[in-house]
Amino acid sequence: MKIGYISLGCSKNLVDTEMMIGLFEKHGFETVNNPNIADIILINTCGFIESAKQEAINTILEMCEYKKKKCKYVIVTGCLVKRYKEELKKYIPEVNLWIGCNEYNKFWQEVMIVLQRNNNQKDYLNYQERKITTGNKTAYLKIAEGCSNLCTYCAIPMIRGPFVSRKKEDIIKEAKKLADNGIEELIVIAQDTTKYGIDLYKKPMLAILLKELENITNIKWIRFLYSYPETITDELIDVVKNSSKICHYFDIPIQHIANSVLKRMNRNSNGESIKNVIYKIRKQIPDVIIRSTVMVGFPGETNENFSELYDFIKEIKFNKLGAFAYSKEDGTPAEKLKDQIHHQTKKKRYNQIMALQQEISKNNLQERIGKEYEVLIESISFDGKYYIGRSYMEVPDVDGVLFIKKDRNYKKSIGEFVNCKIIGIQDYDLIAEFAKVDL
């Protein structure tokens, strides 16, 4: 049978999807990327915020239409199912199997029952048997599950449970297998990577884990995402600073800078500590890229609070910044907070932040013109005139890309690392040409 899949939401969700597809392929199923020819369609959903829920429901309804064609089974998994399984079963009966992220230990048994196969056939999701879907050179490496931070706006602890680190030996084993299969870029992920190891080893272990990943011969780039400011240690900064493989890139989700807002969010950092860690990183690693995310419109956010956030962003000039408006989520403490912000105010504040960041980003990118960087080629533009790639400055799917002018005398292949010179900018992207060393 042929199986097609759609993975929604974050990269952590994608790793789960890759394990599911790996399990299907292990048992002889064929993966296809065309729903018109799929016997089974698997949708792994996100249920984090309202827009993600709506996207998931729309996708499910759209895929159920293929049951009028070749598709016989629609299987829906993930965070949305964990939160709203009974309601979903009631309103979308066309789906053959609903299985939440809390039920993955019985995923294969449930699939076998639905497909009317051997009901006693037991198998389990396995990191070592993933089907990598992010190209031949890049793979995510999930080092922990869940979250214990209990931010008042966030449903993830309810959905995914408390923070649980994977054993270091298992992570290294998986990373070595990925390297043996041609992967050269590892992107280390968890809901809070800097908390890695605290539950298992009683101390932060991310810096030690990164040093061990460095020793894997065929790995060229290592990144880590979602590093909370309060657990970025001096040791971690030193490891990044002194490494030839770990990208000089910190992804630090701060959410806000006003202390009163941070307190209501139940964040473990304050405005002063956030500023201090950013200044420290930039002093130690001058060419560092710092990415962050902020939230506007959290209950009780005053005009003064917003102005403080706006001025902070103007001062810090993040290399990359994402913003989103607060979304009231079922079952979270923030849902019941007083002084909920009107949606028009949230929208206005969001637009102001993004307009500011657009100007900051433009100036930041202008400073790159004339400089040379090593770039991983990942694809070719639709018109065939450019290679599309990333340097250490860009994370897949969340940051911009480099458009490298093709040279008729110099052919490159997808998956190659090349040296490029930046010659221009286009919105959040860079225009480049091959450096003389590569011509």
The CATH number of the domain where 15 resides is what? 3.40.50.12160
The answer for residues whose C-beta is within 8 angstroms of residue 348's C-beta and 6 or more apart is: none
The CATH number of the domain where 141 resides is what? 3.80.30.20
Do 106 and 181 fall within a single domain? no
Q: Which residue segment(s) compose the domain that 146 sits in?
A: 134-366
Instruction: Give pLDDT, residue 312.
Output: 98
Please list the rounded mean pLDDT of every run of 10 residues in the chain (439 residues). 95 96 95 95 92 93 93 96 94 96 94 83 91 95 95 93 96 97 97 96 96 96 96 96 97 97 96 97 97 97 98 97 93 93 96 96 95 95 92 94 86 90 93 77
Instruction: Give pLDDT, residue 439.
Output: 46
Question: Is 0.75 surpassed by the pTM of this model?
Answer: yes
Do 123 and 138 fall within a single domain? no
Do 75 and 160 fall within a single domain? no
| Domain stops at, among 366, 383, 401 | 366
Do 116 and 138 fall within a single domain? no
In contact, 141 and 172? CB cutoff 8 Å:
no
Do 362 and 344 fall within a single domain? yes
In contact, 417 and 376? CB cutoff 8 Å:
yes
Do 204 and 151 fall within a single domain? yes
Structure tokens at 150: 């209990």
DSSP annotation of 231: G
Structure tokens at 395: 């994370």
CA end-to-end distance (rounded Å), the chain = 47
The CATH number of the domain where 392 resides is what? 2.40.50.140
With vertex at residue 225, the alpha carbon angle to CA 83 and CA 184, rounded to the nearest 5 degrees, is 115
| Domain stops at, among 76, 108, 127 | 127
Do 256 and 382 fall within a single domain? no
- The H or E element spanning position 107 is helix 107-114
Q: Is 69 exposed, middle or buried (0-12, 13-18, 19+ CB in 10 A)?
A: exposed
The answer for residues whose C-beta is within 8 angstroms of residue 282's C-beta and 6 or more apart is: 288, 290
Do 359 and 313 fall within a single domain? yes
Q: Quick one: CA dihedral 380, 224, 51, 262, positive or negative?
A: negative
Instruction: Give pLDDT, residue 359.
Output: 95
**How many domains, in total, are found in the chain?**
3
In contact, 250 and 232? CB cutoff 8 Å:
yes
Do 322 and 252 fall within a single domain? yes
Q: What residues pair up with 189 in beta bridges, in sequence order?
A: 142
Do 278 and 147 fall within a single domain? yes
Q: For residue 301, give the nearest of 272, 329, 265 by alpha carbon.
A: 265
Do 249 and 160 fall within a single domain? yes
In contact, 9 and 51? CB cutoff 8 Å:
no
Do 276 and 154 fall within a single domain? yes
| Domain stops at, among 93, 111, 127 | 127
